[in-house]
Structure 1
């Protein structure tokens, strides 16, 4: 991360911080935002002068194409503060690469690397007091791009807005979750844009998840769109299965998000000598493993939740309760990853980046 504030960024500071109004002991995820936000517009084929301004509402034309054709992509990142008061990001280069990969799939312009990192670095330093020390505390960072050109003609826009907003966070999920294996609905399809962090991917999940909640489940394990025989993701996370002492997860594809937490857990597990298999996994294999006692754990992995254990799953009208594991893989990998993120352990991978 660069330390100097670039001359290109125009900064307008708030008159008075709202931080004194925030109860940091009782934060609802994603509902409280810091004092400032980063904005950069794309007009006439060029990204304009980036700005940092007080957090507040936007004014957009009702015909802005994001409202009509869904050109919107985003990222999820976190900043962590250690016990000495230093702030770190976790693999931010991966977020930068992925948001541009997502943008390309939706015919949106690539955002410059210098603007991304200088803007993020400056914003985090400006709102540093919002980043609290303490294991589990973090600042959730949401970069996103939307199509702002006023027009309802069905084609890609010529004007866009790149933004970064930040929200202080604690744990995303409280406790273990129950999931329902999808038999009808799909998160994405081959040839689509499931690998992109596009807004529409998430909008399409809400209705099936609503139906699952009516049956007593919190999330869905998504299956492939062709046969619904293979597991792919869990809710908004990548998903792992522990069968005996082997850790299994599905390979990424044009349907499955290349999760940064996912690839980090795989690297951690392999370095520690765990047996890891990245391959297609049938739902029937998971059910058989449960029935013969070899299915030990299921857990989701993502930026917001880090690692979210699954206590039960439903499939074809049957409910399967997993036994609580002593010294679970989920708790071990979560602590190992967070120790790196919070500067409590050596980072032999070079993932931690100081702000």
Structure 2
């Protein structure tokens, strides 16, 4: 199986913004795009993206998961980055069109079709560091993916970083490439020095998120995660997991969580921790590394509630459970 996100469908949906208006979307080859070397995105990072999935049910039908939430978040990112505004209906139709075209290629469970809407500023103007782009491209790529847990859900090792930040605090809720780039250095260093899988950024002792996923702590019947603010990504999977946790009768606490409280709770028998995101849904965390010491979360294995929540979400996505929250869009 090829690495996650490295195989693409041969065509994509694309729309251009020029002369202060959007053109019609079209289906084009996905092997390349044409950009001027002075394009705004290449110099001033006018770019944002989304990640969502389409799933094949047992009856052969194809359904996109929570497309409306992803489109809403992308519109928010575009506004915060001063990219041209777009009507949600435009992106919705683009996603539907390209998924419908390659509906036969959507893998059966436990695979899925990963959908990557991308928005970039294209104006050739290196003198516009303090001004928004006047032209842009919006496109939607597709990438069939297999089971993220094909070799088992091995609990992750996280390094708690209290001195650094994933990105600028006011940019955390924007899904932009620069935020991921700024986290690469600390993550690479953590892998080399302490064999960590990811860094959990906790500036000033405030537990936030890792380089690419939201963090969740489960202590008995209470699920704890940071309250939404502009410093970290408002994950669609995070929101889905919290909704399902409430459905299962768990107490969901969206609040500040300090490193001290995290380590104290993590040491309890039965405590669980996990990362939530589109790719892996809910990935168990088994070890927290802090100031050179390793702290086992619970028994160090994937927790019962973590696996139950992940299964509950998967069952909705693949049509094995009722979609009570109207999260699926049929193609």
Short-chain TM bin: over 0.9
- Contact 1:146–1:161 at 8 Å: present in 2 too? yes
What is the aligned partner in structure 2 of residue 221 from structure 1?
Answer: 200
1:180 to 156, 159, 162: 159
Question: Offset at 1:54?
Answer: 2.1
2:260 to 272, 280, 284: 284
Q: What is the SS of the residue equivalent to 1:231?
A: coil
What is the aligned partner in structure 2 of residue 321 from structure 1?
Answer: 296
Quote the Cα distance in structure 1 between the aligned partners of 2:247 and 2:221.
15
2:121 to 117, 137, 147: 147
Quote the Cα distance in structure 2 between the aligned partners of 1:234 and 1:27.
25
Q: What is the SS of the residue equivalent to 2:171?
A: coil
Q: Does 1:304 align with 2:279?
A: yes
What is the aligned partner in structure 1 of residue 56 from structure 2?
Answer: 81
What is the aligned partner in structure 2 of residue 208 from structure 1?
Answer: 186
What is the aligned partner in structure 2 of residue 40 from structure 1?
Answer: 15
Question: Offset at 1:252?
Answer: 1.1
Structure 2 unmatched ranges of 5 or more: none
Q: What is the SS of the residue equivalent to 1:233?
A: coil
Q: What is the SS of the residue equivalent to 1:158?
A: coil
Quote the Cα distance in structure 1 between the aligned partners of 2:262 and 2:291.
13
Q: What is the SS of the residue equivalent to 1:264?
A: helix
Question: Offset at 1:189?
Answer: 3.8
Q: What is the SS of the residue equivalent to 2:287?
A: strand
Normalising by structure 2, report the TM-score.
Answer: 0.94
Quote the Cα distance in structure 2 between the aligned partners of 1:330 and 1:318.
25
- Contact 1:243–1:294 at 8 Å: present in 2 too? no
313-322 vs 145-154, which moves further: 313-322
Quote the Cα distance in structure 2 between the aligned partners of 1:301 and 1:80.
18
Q: After TM superposition, what 4+ stretches of structure 1 lie above 4 angstroms from structure 2?
A: 324-327
276-285 vs 179-188, which moves further: 179-188
Quote the Cα distance in structure 1 between the aligned partners of 2:287 and 2:300.
10
Question: Offset at 1:176?
Answer: 2.2
1:326–1:310 Cα change, 3 Å: closer
Normalising by structure 1, report the TM-score.
Answer: 0.88
- Contact 1:35–1:127 at 8 Å: present in 2 too? no
Question: Offset at 1:221?
Answer: 0.6
Note the alpha carbon deviations across 1:163-187, whole angstroms, 9 max, x for none: 1001011234653211101122201
What is the aligned partner in structure 2 of residue 241 from structure 1?
Answer: 217
Question: Offset at 1:110?
Answer: 1.8
1:333 to 293, 306, 309: 309
Question: Offset at 1:148?
Answer: 0.6
Show the 5 A alignment for 1:42-61.
42-61=17-36
Quote the Cα distance in structure 2 between the aligned partners of 1:55 and 1:248.
41
168-177 vs 140-149, which moves further: 168-177
193-202 vs 172-181, which moves further: 172-181
Quote the Cα distance in structure 1 between the aligned partners of 2:242 and 2:18.
41
Question: Offset at 1:122?
Answer: 1.3
What is the aligned partner in structure 2 of residue 250 from structure 1?
Answer: 226
- How many residue pairs get aligned? The number is 324
- Contact 1:289–1:295 at 8 Å: present in 2 too? no
- Contact 1:197–1:257 at 8 Å: present in 2 too? yes
152-161 vs 168-177, which moves further: 168-177
What is the aligned partner in structure 2 of residue 64 from structure 1?
Answer: 39
Question: Offset at 1:295?
Answer: 6.3
269-278 vs 62-71, which moves further: 269-278
Quote the Cα distance in structure 2 between the aligned partners of 1:183 and 1:105.
27
Structure 1 unmatched ranges of 5 or more: 1-25
Quote the Cα distance in structure 2 between the aligned partners of 1:60 and 1:93.
29
- Contact 1:72–1:147 at 8 Å: present in 2 too? yes
1:329–1:230 Cα change, 3 Å: same
